[in-house]
Chain A
Amino acid sequence: MTTRLIYFAWVRERIGTSEEEVELPAGIETVADLLRWLQSRGEGYERALQYPDVIRVAINQEHVDHREKISGAREIALFPPMTGG
């Protein structure tokens, strides 16, 4: 199953794309697993995700924490802490 990954703000700039479809390898069960796997995909990912604690994550457009299971997620978004308002 493919999962749509979406990036915003400096996460998007460092990775170099705003979204992509990925085939997640077996063993990627939680958000934390996903962040670790993404870091191994190249220099941009490494720079974007070098401090994973800072990264905020939404699954299917709802905030989740890093322990959340990602099975069945259609859309996972990674972004910095929000600065709206």
Chain B
Amino acid sequence: MSAVLVPSVRIQRQDFDVAAEIAALTQGRADIGAVVTFSGLCRDEQGALSALELEHYPGMAEAEIGRIATEAVQRWPLQGLTVIHRHGKIAPGHNIVLVVAASAHRQAAFEAANFLMDYLKSRAPFWKKEHRTDGSEGGWVEAKEADALAAGRWKSPSE
């Protein structure tokens, strides 16, 4: 039996390189048939946003994403899993979050990446504050009920 996969979880200020993260999971291996990546970017809808400032709970952010990632590797047959979440000020168009899930077949990789993002949205201790192009503070982004509902759909009936 192969060893249980240990996911790579990083909380960092600096940007990440999506291609390099995929390569890190697949290099030198012939057993991976599917890699799904999800990148979340800072989005500006009305041209009024200069940046999102992401506050996080150091220690718990790593621990909580680690718990979610560990659940994912127990639920799906993954060959690799990387989760990176940035903090600090991030301008529109720049990366916030990355999930890379590698598996023998596509279904497990798709589902694990989807699960990771749904859980991360409602359970990872990060908070977004808006900074506006006119120099004012735009306030804290409000949590969406839809995100909590999306996480709920992964629960088994017994939970």
**B residues near A58, Cβ cutoff 8 Å:** 57, 60, 125
Which residues of chain B are near A84, meaning CB under 8 Å? 54, 56, 85, 97, 120-121, 124-128
* Given known A-B contacts A9-B140, A10-B140, A83 and B127 have beta carbons under 8 A apart: yes
Contact residues on A (Cβ < 8 Å of other chain), bracket = 10 to 19
**Complex-state Cα separation, A63 to B85, whole angstroms:** 19
Question: Assuming A61-B63, A84-B128, A85-B40, is B57 touching A79 (CB within 8 A)?
Answer: yes
Q: Is B55 an interface residue (CB 8 A)?
A: yes
- B143 and A80 contacting across the interface, CB-CB below 8 Å: yes
Tell me if A62 is interfacial: C-beta within 8 Å of chain B: yes
Contact B126 A85 (CB under 8 A): yes
> From residue B13, how far is it (CB to closest CB) to chain A in Å?
14
Contact of B129 with A by CB under 8 A? yes
* Contact indicator B96/A82 (Cβ below 8 Å): no
Tell me the nearest residue of chain A to B67, going by C-beta.
A62
A6 interface residue per 8 A CB criterion = yes
The residues of A that contact B122 with a CB separation of less than 8 Å are 81-82
- Count of residues in B whose CB is under 8 Å from the partner chain: 29
A80 with B117: in contact, given A9-B129, A62-B63 (CB under 8 Å)? no
Q: How far, in whole Å, are A85 and B84 apart by their CA atoms in the complex? A: 10
CB distance from B19 to the nearest CB of A (A): 21
Residues in A35-66 with C-beta less than 8 Å from chain B? 58, 61-63
Does the CB pair A63–B64 fall under 8 Å? yes
Q: Which 6 A-B pairs have the closest CB atoms?
A: A84-B126, A81-B143, A9-B127, A61-B60, A85-B121, A84-B124
Q: Which of B120, B140, B148 contacts A80 (CB 8 A)?
A: B140
Does A77 make an interface contact (CB < 8 A)? Answer: yes
The answer to whether A8 touches B55 (Cβ under 8 A) is: yes
CB-CB under 8 A from A10, the residues of chain B are 140
> When the two chains form their complex, are residues A61 and B59 in contact, meaning their CB atoms are under 8 A apart?
yes
B20 within 8 A of A: no
| B residues less than 8 Å from A79 (CB atoms) | 57, 125, 127
Q: Are B57 and A8 in contact (CB under 8 A)?
A: yes
- B123 near A: Cβ within 8 Å? yes
Cβ contact within 8 Å between B60 and A77: yes
User: Is residue B159 contacting chain A, with contact meaning CB distance below 8 A?
Assistant: no
CB distance from B45 to the nearest CB of A (A): 15
